[in-house]
Amino acid sequence: MDAVLPPHTVFDGHNDTLVDLCFPEPGKDRSFLERSDHGHLDLPRALEGHFGGGFFAICVPPSPTTRGFLDSDLVLTETGYEMPLPPPLDQAYAQRMTISVMASLFRLEMQSGGKIRVVRAAKELASCLRQGVIAVVLHFEGAEAIDLELDALYVFHAAGLRSVGIVWSRPNAFATGVPFKFPGSPDTGPGLSERGKELVRACNRLGIMLDLAHLNEQGFWDVAGLSDAPLVVTHTAAHALCPSTRNLADKQLDAVGASGGVVGVAFHVGNLRADGRQEADTPIAEIVRHIDYIAGRIGIEHVALGSDFDGAVMPLEMGDVTGLPRLIEALRGHGYDDAALRKVAHENWLRLLDRTWKP
Ligand SMILES: [Zn+2]
| pLDDT (mean) for 230-238 | 98
Segment 24-38, tens digit of pLDDT: 988 899 999 999 999
4 CA distance to ligand 1 middle (Å): 30
Query: What's the 13 CA to ligand 1 centre distance in angstroms?
Result: 10
Helix (H) or strand (E) holding 130: helix 122-131
pLDDT digits (tens, 9 = 90+) for 285-295: 999 999 999 99
Buried b (16+ CB within 10 A) or exposed e, 244-275: bbbbbbeebbebbbebebbbbbbbbbbbbbee
Distance (angstroms) between ligand 1 centre and the Cα of 308 equals 7
Give the Å distance between the CA of 2 and the centre of ligand 1.
32
pLDDT beyond 80 at 1: no
131 Cα–ligand 1 center, Å: 29
Res 3: pLDDT = 64
Supply the pLDDT for residue 73: 75
pLDDT, the chain, mean: 96
- Provide the pLDDT for residue 2: 53
The yes-or-no verdict on residue 69 having pLDDT over 60 is no
CA of 17 to the centre of ligand 1 (A): 12
Per-residue model confidence as pLDDT tens digits over 279-336: 999 999 999 999 999 999 999 999 999 999 999 999 999 999 999 999 999 999 999 9
